[in-house]
Chain A
Amino acid sequence: MASVPKSVSKQAEQLRETGNVAFKKERFGAAIDAYTEAIVLCPNVSVYWTNRALCHMKRNDWTRVEEDCTRAVELDNSSVKAHYMLGRALLVRQDTTRGIKELEKALDLGRGADPSGYMIDEIWAVLAEAKYKEWEDLSDQRAWKLQCLSDACRQALRVHNFLESSPDDDESTASKQLEYLAEVFSKAAEADKPTEVPDYLCCKITFDIFRDPVITPCGVTYERAVILEHLQKVGNFDPLTREPLEPHQLVPNLAIKQAVQAFLSEHGWAYKTN
């Protein structure tokens, strides 16, 4: 990197400016050309790659988005935008597992940089949608498997009872067994049945499952972005207890965050957004 002369890097910066202007006018082809020239001059600047990737994204050219973002991440592993766009590109070509991983990385990085930034909401929305879809696919598979197994067991039990039956046997024993079998299988399917997220995993202001929970000195937990908005717009007090509260007193509630993650990994339907 040090080998690039100052005049060259300055020229590349100017090309980036040109690209930015073109991008704002939605002339993506021109912007791509400018960023490409900048990349040729200074191939080690991650921002040139992410900027070009954004143009490709606007044109739905996801293969190129993936290429550029992969390079950008190699250059700067802490780029929120690179991880975010890479995640989306991977989702487009159905690589859900890796896509989700990139989006989670983007979310973590983004929160550290600016906890109430606009990108966080966007990243979360894409991530939640992907997670929900993943759950839908997996739960469909699980439901199908359970159904097959349930049918097979039912059949086997009927055959067994038919072969083993003796005159002393009570008719109702067989039907009770079948009833119990149905009960066992319906219990097994329960985890995949959407119900309600428990209150203790929901913010008292958003009524939604926690994403980035913080706790106040009073011991009440809120969604970070929302409690910050409250402190800014309504006043410096804890919404529930009305005790004085300053932004710097908010502390991440890691236990609740883990509880949310555990809940979501068991109940993927809770990712559903309106």
Chain B
Amino acid sequence: MLDVSRVQKELADCNKDKAISGVSIDLHGGDGDLSHLAGTISGPVGTPYEGGTFRIDVRLPSGYPFEPPKMQFVTKVWHPNISSQNGAICLDILKDQWSPALTLKTALLSLQALLSAPEPDDPQDAVVAQQYLRDYPMFVATARYWTETFAKRASVGIEEKVQKLVEMGFPEALVRSTLDSVNGDENMALEKLCSG
């Protein structure tokens, strides 16, 4: 059974110094489900990911903390160890090197460290890894472009999207939370609002 008390403490602990650590974690939905969380990490300074905010989908298996959390990038990212298609992550501590002494915060910090120090020899995305090894400047340029395009989009122009959806007759608070849950994608938000 999921250790609810531990997860609650982890959330509080992780968000206490999020301004300094650059990682934070919150509930994914408003229904209080502690097994589905949303993490964010800020792109490390001095890397092509600088200035970007990356959202991570976090699912806790019922065996947590004796089983690793399942993490996946929601924000598209160009990185040898992260799938450019679906955001799957290749990181040992999220697999066989997990230990219950690790936490959601340390896992997110490890992801942040992974952004700083890619390991192209153990790739998740072969195409990106090839480019990283053969044409590094091109890799940096692509990674930076993806950061600009996908990791900064959520905050840019969000007010316009909110206004547009509110004009369609949806309540503002709902519009904001829905937009937030789909990482600022206007079309997906509209779909969700209509189906909800």
Contacts and interface: CB of A to CB of B under 8 A. Distances in A.
Nearest to B103: A207
B9 A205 contact: no
Contact of A242 (B6, B9, B63, B99): B99
Most chain A CB within 10 A, of B6, B13, B98, B99, is at B99
Contacts of B4: 274
Interface in A185-220: 204-208
Nearest to B6: A207
B123 interface: no
A239 B5 contact: no
Contacts of A274: 4-5, 8
B121 interface: no
Interface in B1-22: 3-6, 8-10, 13
A205 B5 contact: no
Interface string B60-77: 000101110000000000
Tell me what chain A mostly uses at the interface: helix, strand, loop, or mixed. Answer: loop
A208 B65 CA distance: 14
A230 B66 CA distance: 6
B100 A208 contact: no
B5 A240 contact: no
Nearest to B101: A239
Given A234-B99, A239-B99, A239-B100, A205 B65 contact: yes
Interface residues of B, number: 16
A229 interface: yes
A259 B123 CA distance: 48
Contacts of A229: 66
The size class of the interface chain A forms with chain B is 10 to 19
Nearest to A208: B5
A234 B100 contact: yes
Most chain B CB within 10 A, of A204, A207, A233, A237, is at A207
B66 A234 contact: yes
Contacts of B63: 233
Interface in A221-274: 226, 229-230, 233-234, 237, 239-240, 242, 273-274
Contacts of B5: 206-208, 273-274
A227 to B, nearest CB: 9
B9 A207 contact: yes
B101 A208 contact: no
A207 B10 contact: yes
Contacts of A226: 100
Contacts of B6: 205-208
Contacts of B13: 207
Contacts of B65: 205
Nearest to A230: B100
Nearest to B66: A233
A115 B101 CA distance: 21
Contacts of A234: 66, 98-100
A230 B64 CA distance: 11
B101 A240 contact: yes
Nearest to B4: A274
A234 B67 CA distance: 7
B66 A240 contact: no
Contacts of B8: 274
Contacts of A230: 66, 100
Closest 5 A/B residue pairs (Cβ): A239-B101, A207-B9, A239-B99, A233-B66, A240-B101
Given A206-B3, A207-B6, A273-B5, 17 more contacts: A205-B6, A205-B100, A205-B101, A206-B5, A207-B10, A207-B13, A208-B6, A226-B100, A229-B66, A233-B66, A233-B67, A234-B98, A237-B99, A239-B99, A242-B99, A274-B4, A274-B8
